[in-house]
């Protein structure tokens, strides 16, 4: 049985999701949102995303999709194909957490997107384009800018 595949990501107005292996903004509420949305489910990510983490995130399995057959890291469950990644989830949910190439590979299989829309247009080197008309918004929670932090909205999209 295929798990529900949920993308969890923050994206700026211009599609930027990252810069130099990091987020181009500081939004503590988004980090809490990420933790809540990924808790209890295995997370699928690419090698660069895994290496950008501050360490293993507690309470979640770390499935890493990479083309490099020799790559390994403590705490990472390594897979080499989309099919193997989906099979490795071995449960009702799989959270896809990046990067851009993994989102592109997994998009045909995704069921839900938990998107933080960041009201900014920073420079970046990782970009995810807007999601197409096959996605329907089912929830939105907007938050105003505060100080040097941009405004943002937590948005849920489901495949129409």
What mean pLDDT, rounded, does the chain reach? 97
So what's the pLDDT on residue 1? 84
Q: Which residues pair with 7 in a beta bridge?
A: 96, 113
Place 158 in a pLDDT band, splitting at 50, 70 and 90: very high
4-159 fold:
Dihydrofolate Reductase, subunit A (3.40.430)
pTM as predicted: 0.96
Task: Kindly report, residue by residue over 9-46, the tens digit of the pLDDT.
Answer: 999 999 999 999 999 999 999 999 999 999 999 999 99
pLDDT in tens, 96-119: 999 999 999 999 999 999 999 999
Provide DSSP, 28-79. Answer: HHHHHHHHHHHTTS-EEEEHHHHHHSSSPPTTS-EEEE-S-TT---TTEEEE
What are the pLDDT digits (tens) for 53-103?
999 999 999 999 999 999 999 999 999 999 999 999 999 999 999 999 999
């Amino acid at each position: 049985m295929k798990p529900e595949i949920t993308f969890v990501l923050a994206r700026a107005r211009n599609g930027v999701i990252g810069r130099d292996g990091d987020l181009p903004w500081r939004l503590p509420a988004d980090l809490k949102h990420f933790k809540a949305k990924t808790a209890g489910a295995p997370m699928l990510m690419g090698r660069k995303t895994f290496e950008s983490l501050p360490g293993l995130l507690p309470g979640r399995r770390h499935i890493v999709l990479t083309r490099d057959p020799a790559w390994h890291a403590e705490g990472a469950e390594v897979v080499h194909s989309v099919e193997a990644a989906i099979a490795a989830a071995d449960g009702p949910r799989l959270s896809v957490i990046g990067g851009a190439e993994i989102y592109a590979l997994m998009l045909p299989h995704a069921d839900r997107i938990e998107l933080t829309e960041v009201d900014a247009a920073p420079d970046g080197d990782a970009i995810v384009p807007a999601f197409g008309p096959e996605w329907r918004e089912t929830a939105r929670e907007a938050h105003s800018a505060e100080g040097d932090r941009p405004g943002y909205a937590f948005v849920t999209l489901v495949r129409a």
